[in-house]
Amino acid sequence: MSDPLYRKEILRWAADAHGAGRIAKPDLVGIAHNPTCGDKVTVDLTVDTDGRVLDIAQEAKACVLTQASASILADRLKGHSLEDVEQLANDTARMLAANGAPPAAPFDPYAVFEGAVTYRNRHRCVLLPIEAVMNAFDQEPNQAA
């Protein structure tokens, strides 16, 4: 398949579905919804006292781009903080908007979305799981819904 939105690497990340499911008793829950297309991502987090992610689970009822982004995030987020997620959001948005460099390791798999640069209406799909994590961090720990 030659479509840059559906490269083999993107399809592989989506199919692998790292972190798919829910955590029984999460510390934080974040939800992000894209009303334009109906994509919805729910992210469960457990965090340590320093605010670093110990565990993540994600449920993406969404397109393959959102599913792949959620899978990458679940695979790479453990041990990271809200500041790291904010940096990821900024780096990914810059990559998509300005055809800039992809995020640095450990989030470098986001480079698979470089083909989405010319599809502005799909940028939100890639960013939706990151938004869900940031929404989770907006909660007080142990106040998860």
> In terms of DSSP H, where are the helices of 43-116?
64-76, 82-98
Helices (H), the chain: 8-16, 64-76, 82-98, 123-137
d(CA 75, CA 100): 23
**How far apart, in Å, are the Cα atoms of 48 and each of 24, 51, 86, 101, 141?**
17, 5, 18, 31, 10
Q: What is the pLDDT of residue 145?
A: 47
Report which of residues 143 and 10 the model is more confident about. Answer: 10
Where do the structural domains in the chain lie, given as residue ranges? Answer: 4-137
CATH of domain 4-137: 3.90.1010.10
User: pLDDT band for position 17 (50/70/90)?
Assistant: very high
Q: Which residues contact 7 (CB under 8 A, 6 or more apart)?
A: 1, 112, 115
Q: In this predicted model, what pLDDT tens digit does every residue of 83-135 receive, in sequence order?
A: 999 999 999 999 999 888 999 999 999 999 998 998 898 999 999 999 999 99
| pLDDT of amino acid 2 | 57
pLDDT at 42: 98
Q: What is the pLDDT of residues 26-76, one digit of tens each?
A: 999 999 999 999 999 999 999 999 999 999 999 999 999 999 999 999 999
Task: Name the CA radius of gyration of the chain, rounded.
Answer: 14
